[in-house]
């Protein structure tokens, strides 16, 4: 719509008639960007002949990208070229051979839901602004609570496992002493996460189901016994391991989780819901989340609305704007069903088992420990070290091997997996298996490739 100059209303020199954006041009740009994304990201995601990454060191990449924002805008052609470069130099976390983090692969249903979220641009504080997404969150939380084994409960999606854990600590503290919201920490006795001889007051035990490096699970039943005896809040950080609850075969890893008071569980990890998708789940049904966090903002949570304001769940959150992260998980769950999600978990753990057996068979590979979950931690020992005694010199040399192989694999772009030292152990690889795009052939390739890159060290 071109403003009619004759009747144009001017304020401060600004024409106020008609919209100023050119919708047609904008729509065309979005369409072209979608085409590019489809071709360069989605369709190539499953192609093992593509590189996992095209490595450039930071200073070099800065030169390759036109990062500077300027006074005037760039043309659509230039912007599309930029989009191409962004895709080209980004790590392909969807690639079947990206094993570097606790997330991987491409879930088509979650992706469609994520595109919808971005286009609709909702924030989920009140029912009036986000009717669908608040109901979806409610439905998903209810189902997750069922999988934990609680009869009822509450919960909230939030931006990360760390934030879930922070929520849990705050809730446990609030339950122990509701005055904290008014009086602050100094109104409380000095609290501690564990019982101790210091004269401090224990209030919370944090257990972990699926540690980040080793994929280890705490014995929840035994911990719950102790918590019950002493009246302590039991929080389980199942950010990574929680997804095993979807599998009838593997949920025994979390035996006793129904006795927890709160659980952190991130479907963006093993269940591929896309970053971020993290829920904190709370057994208590006395509206503890709301009691602990509500700030009663008058401009959002008016009590004289014409609908049931108990659906305005945003006042349970430390965030004001909040993304509808439950929605993408819900879409995948709808598409695959519980059985489809179970199949994914079972396959990932079966592939892990296969890799473990292959590592045992192959010369030069050494397991750090028998894995409980999808983290397979191992060393690669190059031929030059194989005859050496496992003394200080051996470990010192072995410590250098994983970083050097990692450098080679990144520069080649053939594969990405992580390494780290951990609790006195020198650098070892951590292989994480998640995506249903990954097959036995990729496991074989992984071991072949590490051997290829490391055998002359």
**114, 173, 283, 316: which one contacts a second copy (CB under 8 A)?**
114
**Min dist. Cβ of residue 228 to a second copy (A):** 27
Residue 196 touches a second copy, criterion: CB under 8 A: no
**Min dist. Cβ of residue 222 to a second copy (A):** 27
For a second copy, which is the closer residue by CB, 122 or 256? 122
For a second copy, which is the closer residue by CB, 115 or 225? 115
For a second copy, which is the closer residue by CB, 223 or 277? 277
Within 67-86, which residues bind a second copy (CB under 8 A)?
Answer: 67-74, 79, 82-83, 85-86
Residue 252 touches a second copy, criterion: CB under 8 A: no
Within 281-320, which residues bind a second copy (CB under 8 A)?
Answer: 297-299, 302, 304-308, 311, 318-320
Residue 216 touches a second copy, criterion: CB under 8 A: no
Q: What are the structure tokens assigned to 155, written together?
A: 């919960």
**50, 91, 202, 255: which one contacts a second copy (CB under 8 A)?**
91
For a second copy, which is the closer residue by CB, 13 or 392? 13
Residue 437 touches a second copy, criterion: CB under 8 A: yes
**Min dist. Cβ of residue 130 to a second copy (A):** 7
**170, 195, 294, 346: which one contacts a second copy (CB under 8 A)?**
346
Residue 197 touches a second copy, criterion: CB under 8 A: no
Residue 123 touches a second copy, criterion: CB under 8 A: yes
In whole angstroms, give the CA distance from residue 268 to residue 329. Answer: 8
For the beta carbon of residue 8, count every other beta carbon within 10 angstroms: 12
**Min dist. Cβ of residue 199 to a second copy (A):** 12
**178, 219, 383, 403: which one contacts a second copy (CB under 8 A)?**
403
**Min dist. Cβ of residue 387 to a second copy (A):** 25
Exposed, middle or buried, 266 (CB in 10 Å: 0-12/13-18/19+)?
A: buried
Residue 51 touches a second copy, criterion: CB under 8 A: no
Residue 96 touches a second copy, criterion: CB under 8 A: yes
**2, 5, 6, 19: which one contacts a second copy (CB under 8 A)?**
19
For a second copy, which is the closer residue by CB, 97 or 259? 97
For a second copy, which is the closer residue by CB, 27 or 221? 27
Across the strands, what pairs with 99?
417
**290, 347, 366, 412: which one contacts a second copy (CB under 8 A)?**
347
Sign for the CA dihedral angle at 75, 78, 82, 84 comes to positive
**179, 440, 448, 455: which one contacts a second copy (CB under 8 A)?**
440
Q: What are the structure tokens assigned to 188, written together?
A: 């409380």
Cis ω on the peptide bond leading into residue 276 (within 30° of 0)? yes
Q: CB–CB of 262/233 below 8 Å?
A: yes
Q: Which segment (158-166, 226-234, 252-260, 387-395) binds a second copy by CB under 8 A?
A: 158-166
**4, 178, 179, 185: which one contacts a second copy (CB under 8 A)?**
185
Q: What are the structure tokens assigned to 174, written together?
A: 């609030």
In whole angstroms, give the CA distance from residue 324 to residue 137. Answer: 7
**149, 170, 174, 275: which one contacts a second copy (CB under 8 A)?**
275
In whole angstroms, give the CA distance from residue 117 to residue 51. Answer: 29
Q: How many residues make contact with a second copy (CB under 8 A)?
A: 158
Q: What are the structure tokens assigned to 317, written together?
A: 């959150």
Exposed, middle or buried, 100 (CB in 10 Å: 0-12/13-18/19+)?
A: buried
Characterise 2 by phi-psi region: left (phi > 0), alpha (psi -120 to 50), beta (else): beta
Within 355-394, which residues bind a second copy (CB under 8 A)?
Answer: none
Residue 242: name the closest of 432, 373, 153, 94 by CA. 373
Q: CB–CB of 45/95 below 8 Å?
A: yes
Residue 406 touches a second copy, criterion: CB under 8 A: yes
For a second copy, which is the closer residue by CB, 229 or 298? 298
């Amino acid at each position: 719509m071109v403003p009619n100059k004759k009747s144009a209303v001017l304020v401060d020199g600004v024409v106020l008639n008609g919209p100023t954006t050119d919708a047609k041009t904008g729509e065309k740009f979005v369409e072209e960007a979608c085409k590019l994304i489809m071709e360069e990201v989605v369709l190539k995601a499953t192609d093992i002949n593509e590189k996992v990454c095209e490595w450039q060191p930071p200073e070099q990449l800065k030169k390759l990208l036109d990062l500077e924002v300027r006074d005037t805008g760039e043309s659509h052609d230039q912007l599309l070229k930029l989009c191409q470069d962004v895709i080209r130099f980004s790590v392909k976390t969807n690639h079947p051979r990206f094993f570097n983090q606790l997330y991987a692969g491409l879930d088509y249903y979650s992706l469609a839901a994520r595109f919808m979220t971005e286009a609709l641009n909702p924030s989920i504080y009140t029912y009036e602004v986000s009717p669908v997404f608040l109901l979806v969150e409610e439905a998903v939380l209810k189902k997750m609570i069922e999988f934990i084994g609680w009869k009822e409960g509450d919960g909230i999606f939030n931006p990360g496992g760390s934030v879930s854990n922070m929520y849990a600590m705050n809730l446990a503290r609030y339950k122990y002493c509701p005055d904290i919201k008014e009086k602050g920490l100094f109104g409380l006795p000095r609290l501690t996460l564990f019982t101790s001889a210091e004269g401090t007051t224990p209030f919370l035990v944090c257990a972990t189901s699926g540690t980040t490096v080793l994929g280890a699970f705490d014995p929840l039943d035994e911990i719950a016994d102790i918590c019950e005896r002493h009246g302590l809040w039991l929080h389980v950080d199942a950010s990574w391991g929680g997804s095993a609850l979807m599998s009838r075969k593997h949920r025994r890893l979390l035996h006793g989780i129904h006795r927890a008071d709160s659980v952190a569980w991130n479907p963006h990890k093993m269940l591929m819901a896309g970053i971020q998708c993290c829920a904190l789940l709370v057994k208590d049904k006395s509206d503890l989340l709301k009691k602990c966090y509500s700030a009663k903002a008058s401009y959002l949570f008016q009590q004289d609305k014409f609908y049931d304001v108990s659906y305005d769940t945003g006042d349970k959150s430390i965030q004001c704007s909040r993304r509808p992260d439950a929605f993408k998980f819900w879409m995948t769950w709808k598409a695959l069903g519980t059985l489809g999600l179970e199949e994914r978990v079972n396959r990932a753990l079966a592939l892990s088992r296969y890799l473990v057996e292959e590592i045992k068979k192959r010369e030069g590979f050494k397991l750090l420990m028998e894995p409980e979950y999808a983290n397979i931690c191992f060393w690669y020992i190059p031929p030059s070290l194989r005859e050496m005694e496992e003394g200080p010199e051996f470990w010192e040399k072995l410590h250098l091997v994983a970083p050097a192989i990692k450098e080679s694999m990144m520069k080649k772009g053939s594969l990405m997996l992580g390494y780290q030292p951990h609790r006195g152990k020198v650098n070892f690889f951590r292989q994480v298996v998640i995506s249903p795009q990954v097959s036995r052939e990729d496991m074989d390739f992984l071991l072949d490739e590490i051997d290829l890159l490391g055998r002359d060290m």
